[in-house]
Each structure stands twice: as structure tokens, then as C-alpha cells.
Copies of this chain bind each other. A is one copy, B any other.
């Protein structure tokens, strides 16, 4: 073959290439529309090649969800770090970052949630826990500072988590204009803090 022809028999990086292309496609057209054959075409391999890396379509979607959780975790961590040390600023930044991710990658998040409760997805659950740990760590900080009632972070933070997730759902369902995103996130955090302040 000519040395400018990069179509070697062995692609060399097919799994990664498929995941990258799949993520692009899911963002653009949703997970339902994703076609393994179309993916293979765009990456330049035969229709059966993906099977070597993903036993079936769902396996690819699961892998996509896993990398999604990793990316979500990174973005949340980055948001916390950029927000400095003030608790409320951190909370606001994290909520906004979560909603940002959920609306930028709505179909991916749907995938991430959908995959979590299917059997044999242990790696997925681990990845999810790692991502959500950021939020629960924040709750712990709030408790230490006395602005959030004591108790298990998973339980205390649930209302906030739910609210943030719900805002994302409403935006994705076109019940709310996406432009209101940051304002809504702030509203939600303020509401949460007013409702959560430790009462003695």
C-alpha cells in the first residue's frame, strides 16, 4: 500500500476511535440513532470489525457511559477547584457544572443513568460513584462549617442532587429555556441552603 494510505489492515486504535465517533454521534443524534454499521463506515472499517471490541451494541453504550462518568467527575472537580474555598461558591459552581454537563450532553447522561441499573455493570457503578463523590464531599464540608444539617451526606445531599438533576431534566425537556441555566442553579442552591441550615 502507499505510504500515504493510513488504512492499514489493523487499525491500531479502533476501540478508541469507535468510542470517540460514537460519543460525537450520540451528542448529535441521540443514543437510539446510533448504528454500529454507520460507525464502522465513518471510522473506515468493515461492518463486523466493532464486534472485536464490543460484543454487542449495548456493550459499546456501556463503555460510552463509563467514560461519560469519568468526564463528569473531572468537570465537577474542576468546578470545585476554580471556585476557591468558599463553601457556597463551590456549591454553586458544582451545581452549574453538573447542569452544564447534563444539558450539553443530554443524550449521554441519559445513557449513563439508563446503564447504571442494568445487571453486570460494576465498572459503571464505580465510575458513577467516583463522579458523585464530589457532591457528597461538598456536603461534608457544609456540615463541618455548620451551614448544613448533620447526617449521612448521601441522604442530606439528596434533595440538592435531585433538584440539580431535575433542572437539567426540565431544560432538556424544553420546559425551561436553557438560557436560565446559571440563574436556576443559583436559585436551587440558595433554596437548598435556606432549607438545610442546621437548626439548633
One digit per residue, 1 when the CB lies within 8 angstroms of any chain B CB and 0 when it does not, for chain A 115-132 equals: 011000000000010001
Copies in the complex: 2
Contact between chains at A113 and B172 (CB < 8 Å): yes
Contact between chains at B170 and A184 (CB < 8 Å): no
A165: chain B residues at CB < 8 Å are 165-166, 169-170
Binds B, one of A4-12, A13-21, A40-48, A186-194: A186-194
Q: Count how many chain A residues have C-beta atoms less than 8 Å from C-beta atoms of the other chain.
A: 34
* Chain B, residue nearest A172 (CB): B113
A2 within 8 Å of B (CB atoms): no
Knowing A163-B159, A188-B162 touch, does A173 contact B116 (C-beta < 8 A)?
yes
A164 within 8 Å of B (CB atoms): yes
Q: Please give 8 more A-B residue pairs, beta carbons under 8 A apart, in addition to A128-B175, A194-B194.
A: A117-B172, A117-B174, A161-B170, A162-B167, A162-B188, A163-B163, A190-B195, A191-B196
Contact between chains at A174 and B32 (CB < 8 Å): no
Q: Report A163 CB to chain B, min CB distance, Å.
A: 4
Q: How distant is the Cα of A166 from the Cα of B99 in the complex, in angstroms?
A: 12
A167: chain B residues at CB < 8 Å are 158, 162, 166
A176 within 8 Å of B (CB atoms): yes
Q: How distant is the Cα of A132 from the Cα of B175 in the complex, in angstroms?
A: 10
A117: chain B residues at CB < 8 Å are 172-174
Contact between chains at A191 and B159 (CB < 8 Å): yes
Knowing A32-B32, A191-B192 touch, does A162 contact B173 (C-beta < 8 A)?
no
